[in-house]
Structure 1
Amino acid sequence: MTLREIMRYAGTLYGANVAASVVTFGLTVLISRDMSRADLGIYGLFQAYFLFGAYASSFGLAPATVKWVASGAVDDGEFLTFMMLRLAGISGLLYVAAGVAYLLSFKVLAAALFALPAYQVFSVGLSAARARLWRRREALVLVFASLATSAWIFVLLLADHSYWAPILGQVLGAYSTALAMIAYALTRRLPRLRWPGAWRRAFWGTALPVFLGSSVFAIGELADRLVIRHILGLADLGIYVLALTLFNVLNKPVHMLSRVLLSHFSQADHGAGHAQALEIVRVNLAVLPLMGLAAAAVLPWFMPLVLNRNYTQAFPVFAVLTAVILVKAVELVQSSLAVARDSAMSNMRAQVVALALYALTVFFLTRAFGLIGVAWAVVLRWTVLTVVQRFDMKRRGIDVLPSHLLMRAAVAYLVALAFFPVAPWFMGIAYLGLGAMLRLWSVPRAWRLALGRVES
């Protein structure tokens, strides 16, 4: 694919999420108005359990599916048999674990475990569509999943105003999406089932390092919520969950682009892939941070108009978290290159180092600075991950991106973020001006890209 085609694909996926994101945003406001901070904090714990379980139970199947299906090295019938067997085994283990958790009265954990089999069907099916560049089907699935979950939560909130409404809504949304995907697949002509061949060992060589790295990442995502609950309490956890929910809506373009890049880099030759990676990073650094700064400027003004509780602490936390978007502008390209070039261990090693440093700093920063300290610890974790990942890839002989790009962008972003308390509307202008001075981008090239004249 050309650069324009990559951006068009990612734009299609993100555009499909815009309508769903509006619904999700409205639902976030409704949940925040309808539930206490403590209940919102418990819902945040459910999300953390679910996220950790999603990574831990995936065994790296989704990214490996994208890489291997995109490369065309796997027979469709063999691959379908392989995935059916793996998903059946994973689902059985998860249902047993959910039953044990329920009997031990860990009901929130049990709900998260019960939702995971449906999520794994959704994840693997979506990865197969992504690998084949079926952008319309992928977009439809993403919209359906978001709308189904939102609809279930809305209906349940009418009957129950506790944290169980969004929890059960998310569970039912996962199963609705999985069943819809299975029903659609049964209407198509499926390949003949065949016993998987010798490619399985190479497949697991990709999947297991991704799984280990994802599990380490998920531990970090769970840790911040547990630290807040232990040190600051459920009410502050509810504030953090609101900030994180708003951040996740903003973070969707990053996920959309990362899905496209892994498929593309798995097909492209090394030289072309690296040249496009550099151009993509430059575009990312021009667009994604501006979205974060714009949201950080608007939400503190808009959200109090629709919320009926005091969540003013959430907006400085959200503003700090937007710095993660800047780091991800580089990290998502690096990690996609690493997996596509059979170097997923680089991601895992970087995750381990980042988590170790995070564990050493998060308790101190939380006790010293509260929720703001947690947010800065998260930014530090992503920064360390990206830097270590780059050095490991370079050591293994993989083409890496210039280190000065992230350093210059970080300087521009931190200076812009310093205007948040006094002149939030000036942050975007400051970032653009400093970015141009530091030569992060050139206006003429950005204009040619916008007109579609850049094909590399």
Structure 2
Amino acid sequence: MTLREIMRYAGTLYSANVAASVVTFGVTVLISRDISRADLGIYGLFQAYFLFGAYASSFGLAPATVKWVASGAVDDGEFLTFMALRLAGISGLLYVAAGVAYLLSFKVLAVALFALPAYQVFSVGLSAARARLWRRREALVLVFASLVTSAWIFALLLAHHGYWAPILGQVLGAYSTAFVMIAYVMTRNLPRLRWPGAWRRAFWGTALPVFLGSAVFAIGELADRLVIRHVLGLADLGVYVMALTLFNVLNKPVHMLSRVLLSHFSQADHGVGHAGALEIVRINLVVLPLMGLAAAAVLPWIMPFLLNRDYAQAFPVFAVLTVVILVKAIELVQSSVAVAQNSATSNMRAQVVALAAYGMAVFFLTRAFGLIGVAWAVVLRWTVLTVVQRLDLKRRGVDILPSHLLVRASVAYLVALAFFPIAPWFMGIAYLALGAVFRLWRAPRAWRLAIGRAQN
């Protein structure tokens, strides 16, 4: 794939999500108006359980699917048999775990576990489509999943004004999407099922390091909510969930791009993949931070008109969380290259070190600075992850980015973010000016690559 094709694919996926996000954002506002901050905090715990379970039960199947299907090294019939058996086994274990959790009266956890089999079907199916570069089908699935989940939540909120409405709406949305995907697949001419061959060992060599790294990452995602729950209380957790909800809307283009990059680097040869990585990062460092700063400037003006409860604390927290977008501009490229070049253990090691650094800092920062401290602890975790990841990749001979690129970009972004309390509309201008001074990008070259007039 050329750089233009990468951006086009990611743009298609993000455009599809923008349409769905309008509805999703409206439902988010409705949830925040209809339930209390404490109930929103419980819903945030459900999301944390769900996210942790999604990573912990995935066994790295989705990213390994992208790599191996995109490389063309796996027979379709063998792969279909392999994946159907694995998903059936994972689903059985999850249903048993959900039953046990329910019997022990952990009902929110039980519902999260019950939703996970449907999510794993959705995740693997979407990964297979991405590996084959079926961008229109992938976009349609993403839009359908978002819309059907929003519709279920809206309908349940009309009947029940509490945290169970969004929780059950998310569960029903996951199963609706999974059933539609399975029904669609059953209408196609499926390959003849074959018993998986010798490639399984190499597949697990990709999947397991990714799985272990993702599980460690998920612990960090769960930890911030648990720390707030026990140190600050459910009401503050509700405020943090609101900040995270806004951040996740902003974070969608990053997810779209990371999905495409793994397929791209899995298909590319060693030289082509490395040559395009730096240009992708330079474009990321223009587009993604500007989106973060624009959102930090605009949302504090708009959201108070839409919310009927006081979420003023959420906006400074959201502004700090946008620093993660800057870090991800580099991290998502490094992660994709690591998996594609059979160096997934680099990601796993980096996740472990990052979680350790986060664990040592989060309680102190939370007690000293409240929710803002939690947000800076999250930024610290992503920064340590990216730095350690780069050092490990360099040790393995995969040296793709200048060593001081993240430092220069961070200085430019933090100086720009300092204008948030006094002149938020100036933040984007400040970042562009400092970025030019620090030579973060070469605009003419990046533009020619983006429109396909130069080769990457």
Partner of 1:350: 350
Mapped to 2, the partners of 1:397 and 1:415 lie a distance apart of 33
| 1:452 shift after superposition | 4.0
Residues 358 and 381 in structure 2, CA contact (< 8 A), matched pair in contact too: yes
Q: CA deviation at 1:453?
A: 2.2
Amino acid at match of 1:363: F
**Quick one: percent identity of the two aligned structures?**
88
* 1:303, distance to aligned residue in structure 2 (A): 0.2
| Corresponding residue for residue 65 of structure 1 | 65
TM-score under structure 1 normalisation? 0.99
1:447 positional shift = 4.2
1:319 aligns with 2:319: yes
Which position in structure 2 is the counterpart of 1:121?
121
Q: In the alignment, what sits opposite 1:373?
A: 373
Matches within 5 A, 1:5-404: 5-404=5-404
| Deviation at residue 450 of structure 1 after TM alignment | 5.5
Give the letter aligned to residue 180 of structure 1.
Answer: V
Scaled by the length of structure 2, what TM-score is found? Answer: 0.99
Distance 2:300 2:454 in 1: 37
How far apart, in 2, do the equivalents of 1:71 and 1:53 lie? Answer: 28
Unmatched 5+ stretches in structure 2: none
Are the counterparts in 1 of residues 277 and 400 from structure 2 also a CA contact under 8 Å? no
* Displacement of 1:455: 3.1
CA distance in 1, matches of 2:454, 2:34: 49
Question: 1:121-166: per-residue Cα shift (whole Å, max 9, x none)?
Answer: 0000000000000000000000000001000000000000100000
State the alpha-carbon separation in 1 of the partners of residues 411 and 97 from structure 2.
Answer: 46
Q: Tell me the SS of whatever aligns to 1:124.
A: helix
Cα shift at 1:241: 0.1
State the shift of 1:449 in Å.
4.3
Q: Equivalent residue for 1:431?
A: 431
Partner amino acid, structure 2, of 1:352? V
> Matches of 1:173 and 1:77 in 2, distance apart?
29
Amino acid at match of 1:362: V
Check conservation: 2:4, 2:451, Cα contact below 8 A: no
Partners of 1:214 and 1:449 lie apart in 2 by: 32
Contact 1:66 1:127 in 2 (8 A): yes
Q: Which amino acid aligns with 1:108?
A: V
Partner Cα distance (2:363, 2:23) in 1: 35
Q: Distance in 2 between matches of 1:106 and 1:455?
A: 55
Whole-Å Cα distance in 1 between the matches of residues 130 and 202 of structure 2?
20
Equivalent pairs counted in the alignment come to 456
Q: Give, in whole Å, the separation in 2 of the partners of 1:222 and 1:451.
A: 40
Counterpart-to-counterpart distance in 1, 2:14 and 2:127: 16
Q: Distance in 1 between matches of 2:258 and 2:451?
A: 23
Cα offset, 1:446, TM superposition: 4.2
Alpha-carbon displacement from aligned partner over 1:209-247 (angstroms, at most 9, x marks no partner): 000000000000000000000000000000000000100
Write the distance in 2 (CA, Å) between the matches of 1:72 and 1:354: 34
Q: Distance in 1 between matches of 2:362 and 2:260?
A: 33
Per-residue deviation, 1:183: 0.3
CA distance in 2, matches of 1:4, 1:454: 10
Give the letter aligned to residue 298 of structure 2. Answer: V
1:441 to partner: Cα distance: 1.5
Contact 1:330 1:406 in 2 (8 A): yes
Map Cα deviations across residues 378-419 of structure 1 (whole Å, 9 max, x no partner). 000000000000000111111331122111110000000000
Within 2, Cα distance between the matches of 1:34 and 1:319?
A: 25
Rounded to whole Å, the distance in 1 between the matches of 2:155 and 2:263 is 37
CA distance in 2, matches of 1:277, 1:448: 15
CA separation of 1:451 and 1:96: change in aligned 2, threshold 3 A: closer
CA contact (8 A) 2:3 2:449 kept: no
CA contact (8 A) 1:55 1:215 kept: yes
Q: Please name the residue that 1:412 is paired with.
A: 412
Distance 1:330 1:447 in 2: 19
Letter matched to residue 388 of structure 1: V
Q: In 1, distance between residues paired with 2:71 and 2:444? A: 36
CA apart distance, 1:444: 2.7
Q: 1:212, 1:348 within 8 Å by CA — same for their partners in 2?
A: yes
Map Cα deviations across residues 352-396 of structure 1 (whole Å, 9 max, x no partner): 000001000000000000000000000000000000000001111
Q: Are the equivalent residues in 1 in contact too, given 2:119–2:175 (CA < 8 A)?
A: yes
Partner of 2:422: 422
Q: Which 4+ residue blocks in structure 1 deviate beyond 2 angstroms?
A: 442-455
Residues 446 and 338 (structure 1 numbering): CA distance in 2 closer, same or farther, change over 3 Å?
closer
Amino acid at match of 1:282: R
* Structure 2 SS opposite 1:403: coil
Q: Alignment partner of 2:57: what SS? A: helix
CA contact (8 A) 1:4 1:455 kept: no
Do the aligned residues in 2 keep the contact of 1:3 with 1:454 (CA within 8 Å)? no
Q: CA deviation at 1:24?
A: 1.1
Equivalent-residue separation in structure 1 for 2:14 and 2:455 (angstroms):
21
CA distance, structure 2, for counterparts of residue 448 and residue 245 of structure 1: 35
**Matched letter for residue 61 of structure 1:** L
Following superposition, the deviation at residue 443 of structure 1 comes to 3.4
Unaligned runs of 5+ in 1: none
Q: In 1, distance between residues paired with 2:75 and 2:50?
A: 32
Asked if the contact 1:4/1:454 (under 8 Å) is kept, the reply is no
